[in-house]
Amino acid sequence: MIERFKVEGVAYVVSYDEVRSIFTFYIDVLNSDYNVAPLSREARMWGDVSPDTVWTKTDVKDVFKIKHHIVEFIDHALRRFEPHYFRFSANEAIKVPVYRRIAAKLAKKYGYALYEHEGYVFDFYREN
């Protein structure tokens, strides 16, 4: 299951792998309206090219629109697949508090036991 959306010209992808029960979220560099992964002068000098996807970008102004899309997607996937277990993780320390709050709300809403480990990975297990 996958959803693509844009906020402020940045193309985002959120997906759910039904087999591994993992949610993934990243920026689609190639479909964004501008270069969201500019390279340093030194990297360009060595012939490096921008990646097709990136997982970090903290300078977006309207993070609430992004959060809304992601939470809505997760809600839909959980209602549709009713997994016994699922996981997601934060990729930047600055995002961990937000992910932690979302994780706690999801666990309570859908009746999952929540386990946080490594400081950024959130595992959910069905309690019943």
Secondary structure in 3-state letters for the chain: CEEEEEECCEEEEEEEECCCCEEEEEEEHHHCCCCCCCCCHHHHHCCCCCCCEECCCCCCCCHHHHHHHHHHHHHHHHHHHCCCEEEEECCCHHHHHHHHHHHHHHHHHHCEEEEEECCCEEEEEECC
φ and ψ at residue 8, rounded to 5 degrees: 55, 35
Q: Would residue 64 count as lying in a domain?
A: yes
φ and ψ at residue 70, rounded to 5 degrees: -70, -45
Q: Would residue 66 count as lying in a domain?
A: yes
Q: Would residue 102 count as lying in a domain?
A: no
Q: Give the domain range for residue 60.
A: 2-90
Please state, as a whole number, how many other Cβ atoms lie within 10 Å of the Cβ of residue 42. Answer: 8
pLDDT for residue 57 is more than 70: no
What is residue 43's predicted lDDT score, i.e. its pLDDT? Answer: 46
Q: What mean pLDDT, rounded, does the chain reach?
A: 82
Q: Would residue 27 count as lying in a domain?
A: yes
| Residue 91: pLDDT band with limits 50, 70, 90 | confident
Structure tokens at 122: 């959130």
Q: Would residue 39 count as lying in a domain?
A: yes
Instruction: Report the range of poorest mean pLDDT among 14-18, 57-61, 81-85.
Output: 57-61
- The residue-averaged pLDDT of 56-60 equals 56
Q: Would residue 98 count as lying in a domain?
A: no
End-to-end Cα, the chain, rounded Å: 25
Residue predicted with more confidence, 58 or 92: 92
Report if pTM > 0.85.
no
Give the count of domains, the chain. Answer: 1
- The β-bridge partners of 115 are 123
Q: Would residue 121 count as lying in a domain?
A: no
| Residue 17: pLDDT band with limits 50, 70, 90 | very high
Q: Would residue 123 count as lying in a domain?
A: no
